[in-house]
Structure 1
Amino acid sequence: MTSSNELKTKTESRPVALVTGGRQGIGLAIVTRLAAAGFDIAFTARSSSDKCTEIIAQCETLGARAKYISSDLGDVSSHQTLVEQVVCWGGGLDCLVNNAGVGTLVRGDLLDLTTESFDHVIGVNLRGTLFLSQAVARWMLDNPSDHYRSIISVSSVSALMVSPERADYCMSKAALAMMTKSFALRFAADNIGVFELRPGIIQTGMTEAVSGKYDKRIADGLVPARRWGIPDDIGRALLPFAVGDMAFASGSAIELDGGLSINRL
């Protein structure tokens, strides 16, 4: 799916961002924030919908070009093609936002965790994210840019906070923390910033099924800020990392959770 302006020649150089899972929730908030900040945006989802056309139009009203690309993050063999599609369309690739991810297939006792659920979650959240980041980083190293470069992974407070009923999910996010530090060290001298954002309880379609449960727990003080997070809390927080304002903090992780993960007595 393409927009009418995607064949136009750019009048000025604009940074290009790739946002995985950018059709809804946190990903959509990131797409619109980056578009407003001067990025052209390629965003992925596993399947197209009318929503993709609406997002492209919304980005265009913000002065950005946008493109939807069908992609399954768990299919590592498709990553190089995805990078080539973005570069061919956008003319470069300056910011990768690893936002796409999946939850555990079935919540339950850790002793009942299945290899099917573990492989599914790790295959997308860790394996897919790792090797897409690798493909993007290789391209960045081979193709200098006038723009700041960054790789930003939207992880979770579950990188630190344990939920035994979805241990595979927590493990995948904890591993992303080490991936971030590893990539940050590897690319520090190349001025490619690598960061991790850890959202807490965010009001999205993924949390809608448990909203009643968390409404009560938040009201009872689970989240010190006494509110749900919203996708734009993440979108706004990401911008300094994407544009280079936080370049010297490469390797850092930030909790975006209203105080949820702060140790308390």
Structure 2
Amino acid sequence: IVAAGGQAMACRASVADAGDRRQLVETALHQFGRVDLLVNNAGITSQGRRDLLEATEESWDVVFDTNLKGPFFLSQLVAREMVRQIEAARIERATIVNVSSVSAYAVSTNRADYCMTKAAMRMMTWLFADRLAEQNIRVYEVCPGVIASDMTAPVREKYDRLIAEGLSPIRRWGDPEDVAAAVATLASGVFPFSTGDCLNVDGGFHIRRL
């Protein structure tokens, strides 16, 4: 970001922690004086893949706190500030982008808590999109498929095989850059008459085929 001529800073925080969420927003405002964009990208998978009938409350609590509760209340905090800035004519528009997953609709019975958080994030996107539309704040969802990352590294062999067998029409792993490009496009403001939309970054996995 700095190399491209912008300003950047890192602020370590857990979105699952209310104090950290407040500190994150306060730090951003202190450093930059405004907030135009929130990308809810923090996420973790199930704490050990277990059959649905063996799922634990411990994993449920950790995954829901990070993947759903945290993004919801961080969005609430940031949206309040965005509304204040727009009403004060400090900014004209703002954007929230939620990064979910094909697990929002594709069942994995050994990752129930993860799937459920991603399904709920879709409704969260619609809720914020509806509530904030009149304030000129657009809310979108980016839905990645099988992306090469630390999270998918342990199941690399499994998905290598599935992709080769035609899991998605585009037979390759997705790259983090694919997701970043989708987020950047939505954040750019080129879709002013759209909100609540989902942009699939999944190689066509979402297409129902016979």
TM bin (shorter chain): over 0.9
1:28 aligns with none
Structure 1, unmatched stretches of 5+, are 1-58
- 1:74 aligned counterpart, secondary structure: coil
Conserved 8 A contact 2:85-2:91: no
RMSD: 1.0
Query: Residues 112-164 of structure 1, C-alpha deviation per residue, up to 9 Å, x if partnerless?
Result: 01000111111110000000000000111112233530010111011111111
Alignment-derived partner of residue 139 in structure 2: 194
Q: Which residue of 2 aligns with 1:131?
A: 73
Letter in 1 for 2:36: D
- Report if the CA contact (8 A) 1:158-1:173 is conserved: yes
Aligned to 1:201, the other structure's residue is in SS state coil
Aligned sequence identity (%):
45
Deviations 1:3-39 (A, max 9, x none): xxxxxxxxxxxxxxxxxxxxxxxxxxxxxxxxxxxxx
User: 1:170 & 1:206 partners in 2: Cα distance?
Assistant: 14
Distance 1:243 1:88 in 2: 23
Residue 62 (1) aligns with residue 7 (2): no
The DSSP-based 3-state class of the residue aligned with 2:193 is helix
Q: Which contiguous aligned blocks of 4+ residues in structure 1 show a shift greater than 2 angstroms?
A: 144-148
Contact (CA 8 Å) 1:229, 1:258: kept in 2 or not? yes
Counterparts of 2:191 and 2:54 in 1: how far apart (Å)?
Answer: 42
Counterpart-to-counterpart distance in 1, 2:12 and 2:181: 25
Instruction: Please state whether the residue corresponding to 1:143 is helix, strand or coil.
Output: helix
- Is 1:153 aligned to 2:95, yes or no? no
Name the structure 2 match of 1:111.
53
Letter in 2 for 1:139: E
TM-score normalized with structure 2 length: 0.95
Residue number among 126, 130, 133 corresponding to 1:181 in the alignment: 126
Is contact 1:148–1:243 with CA below 8 Å preserved after alignment?
no
Q: Which moved more, 1:72-81 or 1:152-161?
A: 72-81
The whole-number CA distance in structure 2 between the counterparts of 1:216 and 1:240 is 31
Contact 1:153 1:196 in 2 (8 A): yes
Partners in 2 of 1:248 and 1:201 — Cα distance?
29
Residue segments in structure 2 that go unaligned for 5+ positions in a row: none
2:44 maps to a residue whose letter is V
Match of 1:210 in 2: 155
Q: Which amino acid aligns with 1:115?
A: E
1:241 match = 186
Residues 182 and 199, structure 2, Cα contact 8 Å, conserved in 1: no
The alpha carbon displacement at 1:70 in A equals 1.0
Paired with 1:156 and 1:140, the residues of 2 have a C-alpha distance of 26
Name the CA distance, whole Å, in 2 between partners of 1:220 and 1:81. 46
CA contact (8 A) 1:241 1:247 kept: no
CA shift, 1:255, in A, is 1.3
Contact kept? 1:161, 1:261, Cα under 8 Å? no
What is the deviation of 1:77?
A: 2.9
Partner of residue 252 from structure 1, selected from 176, 182, 197: 197
Contact 2:92–2:136, Cα closer than 8 Å, also in 1: no
| Structure 1 position 240, deviation (Å) | 2.4
Give the equivalent residue in structure 2 for 1:50. none
Distance 1:169 1:201, change over 3 A: same
